[in-house]
Structure 1
């Protein structure tokens, strides 16, 4: 019979490594995304790299879930930990965010790679969901990693979630502000402007 309680420290290490692995992959995906946004173009290479890194994120989440189950089996008392449930809530949000990205945003990137966003309207039209996804990703992984390495603290579940919510709010505000700033660097409807110029030339 396997003594799961004796293996608890190993499961803790396994759990933290899963969070670190997922967080690292998530940060790489965010860097690739924002660097592409800055250049206003998603190349085929970057889109495929983002897809590969996203699979690594899912692997990290799988490790977190498996090790989390093993932690509960080896120490059932962990279910009384507010920090544990707060971390699992964050992981749940990461799963939902990852699923939305995988099934909605990534197929869109695959269809539009190599496309250059030449106008503010075009950029704003396609970037909203991606920016919100990025705003959720990095703060969530940072929170999960922090909760994973912290020892048990005498705070309530809602205390952790409140802090997490504030971090997410800050990330969303920053992300949408960055989106608005980047769109302001683009011309408005260049095609229309070109058409107006041609019309003006014809009238002359």
Structure 2
């Protein structure tokens, strides 16, 4: 039974990561310009599939925790990497809500992302960076068996934070270059 649940967990993660990478690439190619109707439909379908994958990951992950606890009630819950993984997954879940209710509306706007205020543009690229890093890092934690009971929660979260920081720098650089490439001026309030 446990093997089947691990398999479901793995398949859900693979589907989510595949869609994430495909959509991130498609959005990067758009260069902040308006998306086509087809691209918007694909993004919407992808968001629906990612939601189902995330629910499957939560259900299968919590089931695996219960099984792990029942197998070894003395030690299983003392694995700090496990708690870090659930923190990262919680962050990506909350960020997913922000993506769904804030960022998607700006990305799919008929005028394109670059017409929004600087604060809105920054929030969109930050939510995108958090999403990409969180999904990839959560998957890494799923296979980092050598970290079980060997690393602290603080260590794992520091590594995660470092990847987020790098992603924020990259996202900011991409946004800055989008404005330069299109010879658009930054919105007047960009630096305020």
Normalised by the shorter chain, which TM-score bucket?
Answer: 0.7 to 0.9
Mapped contact 1:19–1:148 kept (Cα < 8 A): no
CA RMSD, 1 decimal: 2.1
Distance 2:132 2:125 in 1: 11
Distance 1:144 1:42 in 2: 29
**Of 4, 20, 23, which aligns to 1:10?**
4
**Of 35, 48, 69, which aligns to 2:62?**
69
Distance 1:127 1:9 in 2: 43
Distance 1:89 1:29 in 2: 24
How much does 1:12 deviate?
2.2
* Larger CA Rg, structure 1 vs 2: 1
Mapped contact 2:106–2:112 kept (Cα < 8 A): no
How much does 1:156 deviate?
0.8
CA deviation string 1:161-195 (max 9, x = no partner): 11010001000100101110110123346xxxxxx
**Of 88, 95, 98, which aligns to 1:97?**
95
Q: Structure 2: which 5+ runs fail to align?
A: 186-192
**TM-score, normalising length: structure 2:** 0.82
Q: Which residue of 2 aligns with 1:60?
A: 53
Q: Which residue of 1 aligns with 2:14?
A: 20
Structure 1, 75-84 or 155-164: larger mean CA deviation: 75-84
The reply on whether 1:139 has 2:133 as its aligned counterpart is: yes
Q: Which residue of 2 aligns with 1:179?
A: 175
**TM-score, normalising length: structure 1:** 0.78
SS at match of 2:88: helix
Distance 1:81 1:152 in 2: 11
